[in-house]
Amino acid sequence: MKAIKVIKPFEVEIVEVEKPKIEKSTDVIVKITSGGICGSDMQIYNGTNSLATYPRIIGHEFGGIVVEVGEKVTSVKIGDKVAVDPVVSCGECYACKIGRHNVCSTLEVMGVHRDGGFSEFVKADEKNIHKFHTDFDESLLGLVEPYTIGMQINNRLQTTSKDKILIMGAGPIGIAALQVAKSRDAKVIITDIVKERLNKAKDMGADETVLVTEEDLKERLGKFTDGEGIPVIIDTVCTPSSFEESVQLACPAGRIVVIGLKNQPSNITMADITKKELTIVGSRLNCNCFDQVIEQFEKGKLNPEKLMTKAYNYKDIIEALTMIKEHPQDVLKVVLKFED
């Protein structure tokens, strides 16, 4: 079968690899129909992802149609449309035992730590396979995963209709978090330095947008919250300075979620957190969010078709990567379609 493999930084090829076979009774083989290119895929391509090794079949946002199942598989059958959770966990460590497998002590992600889903067929355990219950657009099956990131963020913050939320950054994760928050009837103000992305955010439900290169964010937040300060902040910019700004902008009893993986320290004192009794939580990958997202897709409360900027045949991977690299202001999500 054909697969997209990054041989080394800036060298990607369509290669022939062995088609997966059923080995365990809980194995499921999926014929991939679509996959989304993520920022981490771009980092593997350009050599800046410290977690990846080479060569690597990339792709952790993917879905397709079940074509073969092990003898003990009961949750899906041949012909089902599914999305695949790329998070592989041990099931034995403390985090796994308390139901938080997304921070497993030996966690691996398909497409990063091990080969991923940008291939014609993928094998995964039944617990990682999540079924659609309607005849959903095959080109959108791979977009469940990025929305699970947005769902996990909102779950960690326990967002409700009573919340006013600042989302810093209108990239794909910011937009996914926005749509999940709006599905819960929260009020959302979102920032970016790219006007085109803010236009897209507005189209996808943002109540207000702030172009931070031209507008005063504190002033806008004051108007948005009637002078009280912002109670919920989602930082998808993920820099030391954006984390510092989140702590400064949050109102007393505020909640902040952090998703960045940079190892650079931020200049934050204990008093900044203690005086306002802030709740600061991390959010990584997703924890049992796939079925939640699929349900929201099928009910029309989340709109993956709006997240998709353009679709390419997987054989045109170089063209797809080039578009993302050269036109980042125009791209939210590029999708690869696995079809001849």
217-250, pLDDT tens digit by residue?
Answer: 999 999 999 999 999 999 999 999 999 999 999 9
Cis ω before 55 (30° cut-off from 0): yes
User: What is residue 52's predicted lDDT score, i.e. its pLDDT?
Assistant: 86
User: What is residue 324's predicted lDDT score, i.e. its pLDDT?
Assistant: 96
| Total-model pTM | 0.96
The three-point CA angle 176-259-300 to 5° equals 15
Second CATH level (architecture) for the domain 148-282: 3-Layer(aba) Sandwich (3.40)
Neighbour order of strands in the sheet with 230-235: 208-211, 187-192, 164-168, 230-235, 250-258, 279-282
Instruction: Indicate the CATH number of 2-131+303-337 among 3.90.180.10, 3.20.20.70, 3.10.150.10, 3.40.50.1370.
Output: 3.90.180.10
User: What is residue 24's predicted lDDT score, i.e. its pLDDT?
Assistant: 98
Cβ neighbours for 249, distance < 8 A, ≥ 6 positions apart = 166, 217, 218, 221, 229, 230, 233
CA atoms of 70 and 129, how far apart (whole Å): 13
**Tokens 């997987």, residue?**
314
Contact (Cβ atoms closer than 8 angstroms) between residue 55 and residue 9: no
User: What is residue 50's predicted lDDT score, i.e. its pLDDT?
Assistant: 83
Domain ranges (residues) in the chain: 2-131+303-337, 148-282
Tell me the residue type at 26: T
Shared fold status for 2-131+303-337 and 148-282: no
What the block records as the tokens of 1 is: 């079968």
Cβ neighbours for 155, distance < 8 A, ≥ 6 positions apart = 287, 289
Scored b (16 or more CB within 10 A) or e, 239-273 reads: eeebbebbbebbbeebbbbbbbeeeeebeeeeeee
Q: What is the pLDDT along the chain (340 residues), one digit of tens a residue?
A: 999 999 999 999 999 999 999 999 999 999 999 999 999 999 999 999 888 889 999 999 999 999 999 999 999 999 999 999 999 999 999 999 999 999 999 999 999 999 999 999 999 999 999 999 999 999 999 999 999 999 999 999 999 999 999 999 999 999 999 999 999 999 999 999 999 999 999 999 999 999 999 999 999 999 999 999 999 999 999 999 999 999 999 999 999 999 998 889 999 999 999 999 999 999 999 999 999 999 999 999 999 999 999 999 999 999 999 999 999 989 999 999 999 8
121 phi and psi angles, rounded to 5 deg: -135, 145
User: What is residue 105's predicted lDDT score, i.e. its pLDDT?
Assistant: 97
CA atoms of 167 and 306, how far apart (whole Å): 18
Cβ neighbours for 187, distance < 8 A, ≥ 6 positions apart = 163, 164, 165, 207, 224
**Tokens 């039944």, residue?**
126
User: What is residue 125's predicted lDDT score, i.e. its pLDDT?
Assistant: 98
